Structure 1
């Protein structure tokens, strides 16, 4: 992988991760670096799934691929937020 490919992956990861956070309601308590990692993984998974289904190479913008990437990012952000103890967890009432 060339250095330009690494920078492109980081840039796309930031955008996809941020879009994944935007579609989720409420505040997510994960940092920039976790958002970046989730975004990169979501971009890769979305691209792989779009290629497997056969909708990755179209003329113009690949809207289905972009939708899949954002959906993976939203799911990843929600999962990481939940695993880190954020989100709307029920509090136990002690007596």
Structure 2
């Protein structure tokens, strides 16, 4: 069996794809868009969560939506996952 080595987390400031193992957006049906951010470790997930970068303000800026259009936004700590759902553009 081949062991899988977790992604190394940079010590310095870094863009999200350098810390997360998966960053993807996809359509969720015809009317919604989801953003999944997955991390290899609790350490990586907590680093991003504590930095408080994945906020409503960031979502408004990146996806051109209002606060009431952010349908779901959660950190799922046991799964080292951040999940966001907005209306599809």
| TM-score range for the pair, normalised by the shorter chain length | under 0.3
* The structure with more strand, counted as a fraction of residues: 2
* TM-score in terms of structure 2 length: 0.25
Structure number, greater radius of gyration: 1
Larger RCO: Structure 1 or Structure 2 (Cα < 8 Å, ≥ 6 residues apart)? Answer: 1
* TM-score in terms of structure 1 length: 0.24
* The structure with more helix, counted as a fraction of residues: 1
